[in-house]
């Protein structure tokens, strides 16, 4: 007579998910995906004015990007942020974003300069890409256009206000540079109070061409906070352990954060991996070494990912010659 008890197969535990945890116990949760190197701006600390981009023959297709990201999600990645270069310049931007949005993610976001963003906002909303970081180095049209070597201020500001109106989780990224935009620090705080949009001040990192003038242009988060506190009272906000920014609320309802990658590096708690448009996986923004995940089966891909994770530094690497737009900021 056939037993009514379930077979041992049916009662055995489900196959454990292969977690991406490194030798320091850091679980990789966040993936930055650079869609391309090209950009329509030439921010003076990021790219040379005369930079030219050719079509990249090795760029991963939307299908390849999706397959790689799906494998990494199976290893525990739960947050993906798309970046570049300027991600909205990808010809197949819709296809890529639609493919990535189909993954089971806790958070799906994008970092953009905002210039071509506005027409894409309804699509991003529909896809659940709620977390937008838009770069804005100046609130003054002339200064913005000078720093980005563009004529983009009006369009970027329009994208920012529209994204805010549509209810995106929006953060502005502002790299504060001595003699360039540090006179606008308090204006940015006022802007946050007036609009309710969070502004995050980034320390200039010793990356690529920014290394040439980083010592003179660098302003530490501490110096910025001291300046702001002369006018505004700041109340700290609790953030996640692996967050890059520490944040404050102002009495007037503004929200500001500081990404102090130079003066207060967060490498020991970092949970980020970086995939570039050609399929190379890196374990750190400051490390050019990495390995290609292209054309690998899922088990092979996770094995190579662990090899890359073994390179992940625990302490901040001083500087890197590779430009940020190559790796994806």
Per rule CB under 6 A, is residue 308 in the interface with ligand SAM? no
Helix segments in the chain, DSSP class H? 8-11, 62-74, 93-101, 121-127, 141-148, 153-165, 185-195, 214-217, 221-229, 298-309, 324-327
Q: What are phi and psi of 61, to 5 degrees?
A: -80, 170
Task: For residues 108 and 328, give the distance between their C-alpha atoms in angstroms, rounded to a whole number.
Answer: 16
By a kind-dependent CB cut-off of 5 to 8 A, residue 83 interacts, out of ligand SAM, ligand SF4, none, with ligand SAM
Per rule CB under 6 A, is residue 39 in the interface with ligand SF4? yes
* Beta carbon of residue 96, minimum distance to ligand SAM (angstroms, whole number): 15
Task: For residues 168 and 310, give the distance between their C-alpha atoms in angstroms, rounded to a whole number.
Answer: 35
Per rule CB under 6 A, is residue 79 in the interface with ligand SF4? no
3-state secondary structure of 222: helix
Residue number with CB closer to ligand SAM (204 or 281):
204
Residue number with CB closer to ligand SAM (110 or 301):
110
Per rule CB under 6 A, is residue 38 in the interface with ligand SAM? no
* Beta carbon of residue 277, minimum distance to ligand SF4 (angstroms, whole number): 13
CB neighbourhood size of 76 (10 A): 16
Residue number with CB closer to ligand SF4 (40 or 227):
40
Per rule CB under 6 A, is residue 328 in the interface with ligand SF4? no
Q: Do strands 291-292 and 255-259 pair parallel, antiparallel, or not at all (unpaired)? A: unpaired
Judged by CB under 6 A, the chain residues 44 through 63 that form the site for ligand SF4 are 46-47
- Per-residue contact string for residues 59-78; x = within reach of ligand SAM by CB under 6 A: --------------------
Residue number with CB closer to ligand SF4 (66 or 274):
274
Task: For residues 172 and 103, give the distance between their C-alpha atoms in angstroms, rounded to a whole number.
Answer: 26
Task: For residues 97 and 93, give the distance between their C-alpha atoms in angstroms, rounded to a whole number.
Answer: 6
By a kind-dependent CB cut-off of 5 to 8 A, residue 109 interacts, out of ligand SF4, ligand SAM, none, with none
| C-alpha separations of 323 from 43, 142, 206, 231 in Å | 12, 26, 10, 36
Per rule CB under 6 A, is residue 42 in the interface with ligand SF4? yes
Judged by CB under 6 A, the chain residues 148 through 177 that form the site for ligand SAM are 173, 175
Tell me the window of 10-18, 39-47, 245-253, 298-306 that interacts with ligand SF4 (CB under 6 A): 39-47
Beta bridge partners of 280: 292
Q: Residue 43: which of 197, 181, 183 has the closest Cα?
A: 181
Per rule CB under 6 A, is residue 43 in the interface with ligand SF4? yes
3-state secondary structure of 168: coil
Per rule CB under 6 A, is residue 301 in the interface with ligand SAM? no
Residues within the interface to ligand SF4 (CB under 6 A): 39, 41-43, 46-47, 84-86, 113, 135, 148, 325
């Amino acid at each position: 007579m056939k037993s009514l008890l379930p077979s041992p197969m049916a009662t055995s535990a489900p196959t454990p998910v292969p977690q991406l945890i490194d030798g320091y116990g850091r679980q990789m949760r966040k993936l930055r995906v650079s869609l391309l190197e090209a950009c329509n701006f030439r921010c003076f600390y990021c790219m040379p004015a005369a930079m030219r981009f050719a079509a990249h023959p090795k760029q991963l297709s939307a299908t390849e990007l999706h397959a790689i990201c799906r494998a990494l999600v199976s290893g525990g990645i739960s947050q993906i942020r798309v970046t570049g270069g300027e991600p909205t310049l990808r010809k197949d931007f819709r296809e890529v974003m639609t493919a990535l949005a189909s993954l089971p993610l806790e958070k799906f976001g994008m970092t953009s300069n905002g210039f071509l963003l506005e027409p894409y906002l309804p699509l991003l909303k529909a896809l659940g890409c709620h977390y937008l970081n838009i770069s804005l180095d100046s609130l003054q049209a002339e200064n913005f256009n000078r720093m980005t070597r563009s004529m983009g201020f009006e369009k970027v500001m329009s994208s920012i206000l529209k994204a805010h109106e549509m209810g995106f989780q929006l953060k502005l990224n502002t790299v504060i540079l001595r003699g360039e935009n540090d006179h606008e620090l308090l204006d940015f705080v006022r802007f946050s109070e007036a609009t309710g949009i969070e502004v995050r001040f980034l320390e200039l990192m010793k990356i690529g061409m920014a290394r040439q003038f980083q010592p003179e242009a660098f302003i530490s988060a501490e110096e910025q906070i001291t300046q702001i506190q002369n006018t505004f009272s700041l109340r700290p906000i609790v953030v996640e352990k692996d967050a890059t920014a520490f944040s404050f609320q102002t009495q007037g309802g503004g929200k500001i954060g500081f990404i102090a990658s130079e003066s207060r590096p967060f490498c020991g708690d970092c949970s980020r991996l970086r995939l570039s448009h050609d399929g190379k996986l890196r374990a750190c923004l400051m490390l050019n070494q990495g390995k290609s995940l292209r054309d690998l089966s899922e088990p092979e891909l996770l094995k190579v990912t662990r090899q890359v994770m073994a390179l992940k530094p625990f302490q901040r690497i001083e500087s890197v010659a590779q430009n940020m737009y190559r790796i994806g900021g």
